[in-house]
Amino acid sequence: MSDLILANATLVLPREVIRGSLVIEDGHIARIDEGASIPEGATDCGGDLVMPGLIELHTDNLERHIEPRPKVNWPHSAAIIAHDAELASVGITTVFDALRVGSIGVSGSSRTDYHEYARALASEILGMRDAGGLRISHYLHLRAETCSETLIEELAKFGPEDRVGIVSLMDHTPGERQFRDLSKLRDYVCGKHGLSDAAFDDHVASQIALKERLGAHHLEAAIAAAGRYGAVLASHDDTTAEQVAQSAAQGVHFAEFPTTREAAEACRAQGIAVMMGAPNLIRGGSHSGNVAAHELAEADLLDIVSSDYVPSALLSAALLLGDLWDDLARGIATVTAAPADAVGLEDRGRLEPGKRADVIRVHRFNGSGALRGTWVKGERVG
């Protein structure tokens, strides 16, 4: 593995930004030298930002490649390769691919894409990783649908060897959390699945009944499975302080997309990191009518950012936060150090000697950033 020096760069360190050079040897950061000098053989970055590679904890992007249009199933190997390459091209060097476990159905819908799929797809991802076919580092994020029929059976098919880093506790029961407002749920479900009003009402009733029958049992099973895998727990769509207190009691490390300021404030009080979506931040609000990410950022209640469904949004959101807080290092930490800490990845997420050389180079155009290079363990991948 050849060594690399990125010189005359604006280095985004954990708590400050300096002009200097990053020296990479044997896939790790060897040292950081201050100053604008350009050693022989070094790459002159011309003042561009050099920062840790971005760490993505929750992305639905792979689904878009597997099903590029409704009812169009793309070959999985090609979809995984395209997904991996897209993430590398926007500066993401570590991803936790979100896969649903717990088959769900929508009464009256003609769609058939809610069957079990996670185990088979995970095996394909891990097999391609082991064969050296992927550019960036891949882990698994199992989204445990507690309001489902098959959660326990699907969880049992995974083990400690499967690189499951996150288990998120999902509850999409109508009338709760993200879908407290049934009118918004009606718009979403009927628009997506073409349901009549009567079919929607049947769907709501069946989901509520399902939770009453299996919800508590499935929640316990998901928590136990996370312990068996060695994964961290994440809550999802916490709405009230009571729900956050429950999350804390369950051992949740971070909260995905709390829907209210009340929940975010409760997370802060409980020591639970708050993650919000980059699209929410960039668009200026939630498409579901939930709390705006910028409101939480301004109130010092935002710790981690996820690209969610737009991979390129991760870098843009971090730069936006750096401008909002007038602290670039803090903004970049929401997509590097903070997610690394949330899932216990101690070898990456910071420009420090000894860390993995997962690094990106970014040129700023006004408020935006253009990627100029992505390196994983010192090897250029984008």
Instruction: Give CA–CA dist 131/77, Å, rounded.
Output: 12
- CATH no. for residue 138? 3.20.20.140
The tens digit of pLDDT for each residue in 192-228 reads 566 676 776 676 777 776 776 777 888 999 999 999 9
Asked if residues 151 and 145 have their Cβ atoms less than 8 Å apart, the reply is yes
| Same-domain status, 66 and 36 | no
What is the per-residue pLDDT for 71? 80
Length of the chain, in residues? 382
Assess contact for 238 and 263: CB atoms under 8 A: yes
Please tell me whether residues 24 and 171 are part of one structural domain.
no
- Cα–Cα distances in angstroms (integers) from residue 44 to residues 2, 10, 50, 349, in the given order: 17, 11, 11, 23
Are the CB atoms for 72 and 79 separated by under 8 Å?
no
> What CA–CA distance (Å, rounded) separates 309 from 277?
9
pLDDT tier at 85, thresholds 50, 70, 90: very high
- What percentage of the chain reaches a pLDDT higher than 90? 76
- Average pLDDT of the residues in 5-17: 98
Q: Per-residue confidence at 114, pLDDT binned at 50, 70, 90?
A: low
- On whether both 361 and 322 belong to a single domain, the answer is no
Residues 303, 380, single domain; the answer is no
The whole-chain average pLDDT of the chain stands at 90
Contact indicator for 138, 125 with CB cutoff of 8 Å = yes
Q: Does 358 lie in the same domain as 283? A: no
Q: Are 287 and 304 in contact (CB under 8 A)?
A: no
Whether residue 382 is predicted with pLDDT greater than 80 in this model: the reply is: yes
Beta bridge partners of 145: 170
pLDDT of residue 244: 97
Q: What is the pLDDT of residue 2?
A: 56
Residue the block writes with tokens 């950061």: 29
3 state SS for 88-148: HHCCEEEEEEEEEECCCCCCCCCCCCCCCCHHHHHHHHHHHHHCCCCCCEEEEEEEEECCC
What's the rounded Cα separation, in Å, for the pair 83 and 18? Answer: 33
Looking at residue 367, its pLDDT comes to 78
Whole-number pLDDT of residue 174? 63
Greatest mean pLDDT among 6-15, 68-77, 142-151 lies in 6-15
For residues 243 and 381, membership in a common domain is answered with no
Radius of gyration of the chain (CA): 21
Examine the domain organization and report whether 43 and 132 are in the same domain. Answer: no
Is there a single domain that holds both residue 158 and residue 21? no
* pLDDT at res. 183: 60
Number of Cα atoms under 13 Å in the Cβ half of residue 141 = 26
How many C-beta neighbours within 10 Å does residue 222 have? 25
pLDDT digits (tens, 9 = 90+) for 50-68: 999 999 999 999 999 998 8
Q: Which of 10, 6, 43 is nearest to 22 (CA)?
A: 6
Which are the contacts of 277, defined by CB distance < 8 A and separation ≥ 6? 257, 286, 293, 305, 306, 307, 308
337 and 373 share one domain: no
Average pLDDT over residues 135-159: 94
How confident is the model at residue 177, as a pLDDT?
60
Sheet with 137-145, side-by-side order of all strands: 54-59, 92-101, 137-145, 164-170, 232-236, 252-256, 273-277, 304-306
Q: Residues of the chain with pLDDT > 70: what percent?
A: 87
- The residues that bridge with 306 in the sheet, in sequence order, are 277
Q: Are residues 14 and 141 in the same domain?
A: no
CATH number at residue 43: 2.30.40.10
Residues 342 and 382 in one domain: no
- The answer to whether residues 60 and 126 belong to one domain is yes
Mean pLDDT value across residues 283-310: 93
Q: Please name the residues in contact with 75: beta carbons below 8 A apart, sequence gap of 6 or more.
A: none
CA 265, 218, 195 angle in degrees (round to 5)?
A: 85
Residues 6+ apart with CB under 8 A from 40: none
Cβ neighbours of residue 183 under 8 Å, at least 6 residues apart? Answer: none
Domain span including residue 357: 1-52+350-382
- Name the domain count of the chain: 2
158-169 pLDDT, tens digit per residue, is 999 999 999 999
pLDDT at res. 38: 95
Burial-class residue 134 by CB neighbours within 10 Å (0-12, 13-18, 19+): buried
